[in-house]
Every structure is written in structure tokens, then in C-alpha cells.
Structure 1
């Protein structure tokens, strides 16, 4: 199996996983169950703002090329896990929902514009937004959940969403595919703007 086929297979698994989950319209802060890994795994998939931002990270990584295509989807979950710890121990962090919505706007625009900053800058942008996403996951952890299993669940789900973005972003190898990927970036930015206006 070639490298491209591995990426396509992984993206398909991630896509099917995402599609199998009933979507939610926003964060409710509600207890999604008392499980550990499964509850953590579902949490990112239940928030469309999380989903589109995670996919945008994968899409942007494709435009940036190697090594960013793998660095960004590694940086995001690692920093997100730290944000999750902050949320679990209730470290004050203002404007979490605004930060999440802004992540979709900014990352969507980076894809739409095919922005190519230096790798360190791209990683810094992605890492900064990861704090907000992780914080939301950690703060909404059900009381009865095992923290480590829960965190592992939302990190794995996030990785699959990144893989979906990478899989779709692979279309950018062709001119028409590049337009489709950039159009997806526009839609992500618009959706992020809608989330942002809903918060304000």
C-alpha cells in the first residue's frame, strides 16, 4: 500500500467516524456520560466549531507541505492536551468560546489564502488556538470520568479530524482540487464567523 493510500484510508476511517456521531449545535457544558475514553473521543465530534477547526489544521498542513503536514497535526493535540489539563483544574482562561470560533476564522482564511508562513509561525498559530480547544474539552469533562482516558479520547478524535483534513487536502495536487480545498477554507472561515457572531 502506498503512502497516499494510507492517508486516504485513514481519512476515510476518520470521516466515517465523524459521520457516525449525531452532531450538536454548540457546547452545552452538559455531562455527555460518565465514561473515560469514549466520552473524551466523542466530545470534539459533538461541537461543529471543533470539527471545522481540526479539519482546517489538516488542510493547511497540506498547503504548507512537508514537514508541516505532520508537524501541525502533532503540535495541535499536544498543546491541546495541556489546555485540557488547564480546563480540568479550572485555571482561569477568558473568552474560550471566542478563541475557538476565531480559530476557525483564522485557520479557514489560512487555507483559503493558501498562506505559507514559516513553519515556526504556523505551529505557533495552531498551538495558540489548541489551548482554547483543549481547555473547553477539559472544563467539560464529566465528573466521573477518568481524566487520562478522557484526554486520550479527545486527542485521538482530534487526530482523526486532522487526518480527514489531510485526506481532503490531498486533492490540492490538481488545479481543480486546489480550488476545492481553498473553497473549503472559505466555508470554514464563514462558519467560524457565524459562531463568533453567535457568541457576541
Structure 2
């Protein structure tokens, strides 16, 4: 019950953003950065999956996966702000949704270096996409702060949801991974 109360409290923080549904209220870009990961199915699923996958790990990988994702997403965001456009970027992002979903569905525990490298690659693609979608006249810093906060919250939500379940419910986390992978296939078909 405590977990549900904390999750609800965190969700309430996003409610004031509804009042800014009309353009012209946020010249800083913070709300745009905050909403970007929450409104795109591809970003939402990938970031939740990172949290789910981290919850299935042991030791340092529990924190290394989300931290790596956020750090490399920032690097990718900076590259996107600078105008780097990666060919097949949307295909790469859809592939990350598929791959992360599969990793969760089989609860893969790869060596640390491989897990961090995969996470970094996926994060870079998401970051470049965030950077390329910087709103005109918005501050890159406040926009980046927004998408980092939203991403971190999604990682934490995925992690906390999986860890709150009893061990007997581990198949539910794997099922969530399968559903995410299926969404990745659907996204790839449209990419």
C-alpha cells in the first residue's frame, strides 16, 4: 500500500502540466522535455523496460543500467541539439523497444560490460531523438532537465513495480517484457 501511495504522489506531480496544454506557456522547454518521454509510446516502453530489466539484475547492474541510460541519453540529446541526425533513427528506437522487451521477457543477466554497452546504445538513440525535437526558442538545459526527470521517473517506476511484486509474480514482469517486445515489432512495422 505504501508503494501505491508513493506512486500516486509522484503521478500527482505531473497533473499541473495539464493546465499548460495550450502553447505559449513554457518558454523554458522544461514541460516539453518532461512530456516527451511520457507521450511517445516508443520512449515510454523502452524507459519502463530499463527499470524492469534493472530489477531482474543482481549487484551493480541494478543501478548501472538506469544510470547508464540517463547519462548516454544526455550525450545523445546534446548531439541531437547540435543537429546530428542518425539514419534510421526511428527504426533504432523501435528496435530498442523490441530488444529491451525481449531482455525483460527472458530475464537475461549478461556480463556487466555487455549490458551497459547495449543500454548505452539504446539510450544514445533515444537521446538524439529528444535533442532533435527541442522546441524552437526553448532552453536546451531546461528541456534536457525535463526529459532526464521523466526518464528517471519511468526507470524508477518500472523498477519499483517489479520489486514490489512477490517472487511468485515474476512471470508478470516477463509478460510485460513480451508485451513490450510485441509493441516493438508493431513499431518496427510502421517505422
Give the TM-score of the pair, scaled to structure 2: 0.87
Aligned residue number for residue 28 of structure 2: 35
Deviations 1:57-76 (A, max 9, x none): 00000111222111111110
Aligned residue number for residue 167 of structure 1: 160
- Structure 2: runs of 5+ lacking an equivalent: 19-23
Aligned residue number for residue 28 of structure 1: none
Aligned residue number for residue 146 of structure 2: 153
Displacement of 1:93: 1.2
Displacement of 1:11: 4.5
- Structure 1: runs of 5+ lacking an equivalent: 23-30
Aligned residue number for residue 106 of structure 1: 99
Matched, 1:195 2:187: yes
Aligned residue number for residue 25 of structure 1: none
Distance 1:129 1:84 in 2: 12
Distance 1:9 1:134 in 2: 31
Matched, 1:66 2:59: yes
Deviations 1:114-155 (A, max 9, x none): 111011211110110001101111101111100111111101
Distance 2:9 2:100 in 1: 23
Aligned residues: 185
Deviations 1:11-40 (A, max 9, x none): 555556679988xxxxxxxx9964321211
Give the TM-score of the pair, scaled to structure 1: 0.84
RMSD across aligned positions (CA): 2.4
